Amino acid sequence: MSNNYLNVFIPVISLAINVVTQVVSFKVYSKLGLLNSIFLGFFAGFIFLGSLFISDFMTELILLKYFCGIFSVNLITYICFAYCYFHFINLGETARRIRILRELKESPIGLSMDEILMRYNAKDIVKLRIARLLRNGQIMFKNGKYYIGNSTVLIMARLLEVLKLILLGRKSCAY
């Protein structure tokens, strides 16, 4: 397989498996939730990619000296594709400008600035986000204060900060 040009398409096929798994699992198992369906899709694509390379290695279609390089490049490419897909979904679900455009499209008579501000009150937005973070276990409320709960998202945020520092030479802005 090391001389096979189809290697180029393995991350693309893995991404297709990711997308199909995510969409089907989200539509069929509504209790799964969006984030869990995204994780499920990611792991389905990852398992496909890994099992394909392991089977090729076991059947000696790919030599050990090529395995690590080809697998690493395809894995990194797949992770980048999956990351872009995650943010594509995230953009449509959480970006206020997308939601405002959607609501304007659904309102045949339009919306006034006051109506938009009523729907996007900063306090309400923070309350909804806090409720979501509590529900997902990402934060917890104890003695009148909020604390980090499940640190998965925090770890992802720190990893992104490190990547940004490495790739762009600067840290994220602190608010």
**Which DSSP string do the residues of 117-144 spell out, in sequence order?**
HHHT-HHHHHHHHHHHHHHTTSEEEETT
pLDDT band at 175 (very low <50, low <70, confident <90, very high): very low
pLDDT band at 13 (very low <50, low <70, confident <90, very high): very high
Question: What is d(CA 114, CA 116) in angstroms, rounded to the nearest whole number?
Answer: 5
Identify the bridge partners of residue 148 per DSSP, sorted by sequence position: 139
**Is residue 66 pLDDT above 80, yes or no?**
no
Residue 18's identity, in one-letter code, is: N
**Is residue 49 pLDDT above 70, yes or no?**
yes
Q: What is the pLDDT of residue 115?
A: 87
- The model's pLDDT over 29-40, given as tens digits with 9 standing for 90+, comes to 878 888 889 999
pLDDT band at 61 (very low <50, low <70, confident <90, very high): low
Query: Average model confidence (pLDDT) for the chain?
Result: 83
**Is residue 106 pLDDT above 60, yes or no?**
yes
Q: What is the pLDDT of residue 80?
A: 92
What percent of the chain is modeled with pLDDT above 70? 87
Q: What is the pLDDT of residue 1?
A: 43
3-state secondary structure of 121: coil
Q: What is the pLDDT of residue 46?
A: 95
